[in-house]
Amino acid sequence: MNAPRLQGQYDWYLVRQMENFRNGTRGVEGDVYGRQMAQMARMLPDAQAVRDVVAYIQTLE
């Protein structure tokens, strides 16, 4: 899917990017891959869900 690797990224960076996808700062028209991520990020109901997903990503090896 041409997605960047999430494992190994700083938690604060992942939270910020997920929030940017959720609020429409990223994943705008013309950004094909970002639009895919924005759709997924918008499925998360709140900031706690974002932090939970990021915490899970941090456990991956």
> What is the spatial distance between Cα 57 and Cα 60, in angstroms, rounded to a whole number?
5
Q: How confident is the model at residue 1 (pLDDT cuts 50, 70, 90)?
A: low
59: left (phi over 0), alpha (psi -120 to 50) or beta: alpha
Q: Report whether pLDDT(13) > 90.
A: yes
- Tally of CB atoms within 10 A around 40: 13
Please, are residues 33 and 3 in contact by the beta-carbon 8 Å criterion? yes
pTM metric for this prediction: 0.84
| pLDDT over 90 at 3, yes or no | no
Phi, psi of 3 (to 5 degrees): -85, 145
The pLDDT tens digits of the residues spanning 27-49 come to 888 888 888 889 999 999 999 99
Amino acid at 51: R
19's tokens: 């929030």
